[in-house]
Amino acid sequence: MWILGIDTSCDDTGVGVVRDDRVVSNRVASQTLLHQRHGGVVPELASREHTRVIDPLVQTALQEAGISVHDLDLVAATKGPGLIGALLVGYTYGKGLAFALDKPFVAVHHLEGHLYAALAEHPEVTPPFLALVASGGHTHLFEVRAWGQYQLLGATMDDAAGEAFDKVARLLGLGYPGGPEIERLAREGNPQSVPLSLPLKDQSGLAFSFSGLKTAVARALEKGYARADIAAAFQRVAVEHLASVVVRAAKSHGHSTLLVAGGVAQNSALRARLQAAGLRLLFPPPGLATDNGAMIALAAGHTWRGQGSALQVPAQPYLPLTMDEPTC
Ligand code: ATP
Ligand code: FE
């Protein structure tokens, strides 16, 4: 089955083509340079750029896959959550294309896309397992009970993990996105030389928090610690926080398999720390951790039950994945 997947939830236009769980093309048009000089994503600029590039990007992805638009069996696009103006571009394009081709359209939850990206190289894995989504907008720990059935075990009380990397990078005068920049600078620093305390270290629950850590980084900068040492210490504590909560959840809920998704899953210190915990780990392959269209096509393939989504369902900027999740 040939599936086209589209993601325009934030500042990257992602278009992917997947055939039977195999990624055949994955094209991302990054808007990083466009937004960099504004110090953050400007929603209106993001929507306009998505509008400008979506059609040529779809043509390129189809060409790379070696198929015509008429060979597609399904068209999938992100329904939410995300920036509404940005979402609407890909969602409306996908619906229009499916309608014109008389093919089914599948509306996909963005976080489900991130989850299925981590399964791209592990088709043999079946639920139940634990899943951590650590991205620019989410730090959510789920129990995946069955395909499409999720229970939220813990979430961030304030900033998301990726957001913390981005904010600390900005404090340190580094570029956006902050995660890779911090990771690079951290290699030159001593992670033990700046005293930063572990967030929520006495909690018995499974919550995450990053805003206190970000403030502690600002104080350390004022005190004159070296930037590389601060980056290394921040990364050590952020990784330890994520890992300690996740490992505790694995023990208390009896799981030995952990899926890690979202941009922060690319962090090699996090990967090393989790590897040391003795869990079976599933990470997204290169190119599938941050936003992309292939992950949306993969999610559509996994959740496809022969029935397309209704075309009149609107895009949703706030869209919880589970019933127990706060909506904003
Ligand atoms: P959401 O999916 O919650 O809407 P998003 O789509 O913006 O958010 P992603 O594209 O999954 O998020 O990930 C981007 C985030 O991942 C950024 O905050 C970025 O700093 C972070 N990130 C990317 N690479 C790394 C890395 N190597 N280490 C830590 N963080 C990273
Ligand atoms: Fe995302």
Question: Per-residue pLDDT tens for 188-211?
Answer: 999 999 999 999 999 999 999 999
The residues with which 106 forms a beta bridge, in sequence order, are: 76
Split at pLDDT 50, 70, 90, the class of 327 is very low
What is the C-alpha to C-alpha distance for residues 281 and 265, in angstroms, rounded to an integer?
11
Q: Is the CB of 180 under 6 A from ligand 1?
A: yes
Q: Is the CB of 14 under 6 A from ligand 1?
A: no
Split at pLDDT 50, 70, 90, the class of 181 is very high
Q: What is the ipTM of this complex?
A: 0.99
With a pLDDT cut of 90, the percent of the chain lying above it is 91
For residue 56, report the distance from its CA to the centre of ligand 2, in Å.
22
Question: Given this model, what pLDDT does residue 179 score?
Answer: 97
Q: Is the CB of 35 under 6 A from ligand 1?
A: no
What is the C-alpha to C-alpha distance for residues 22 and 265, in angstroms, rounded to an integer?
21
Q: Is 134 annotated as a binding residue?
A: yes
Question: Given this model, what pLDDT does residue 40 score?
Answer: 81
Chain mean pLDDT for the chain: 95
Region of 26 (left: φ > 0; alpha: ψ -120 to 50; beta: rest) is beta
Whether the predicted pLDDT of 324 surpasses 70: no
pLDDT in tens, 121-141: 898 899 999 999 999 999 999
* Residues contacting 320, CB < 8 A, separation 6+: 326, 327
Split at pLDDT 50, 70, 90, the class of 183 is very high
Mean pLDDT, rounded, for 6-27: 97
Split at pLDDT 50, 70, 90, the class of 214 is very high
Question: Given this model, what pLDDT does residue 326 score?
Answer: 55
Question: Given this model, what pLDDT does residue 11 score?
Answer: 94
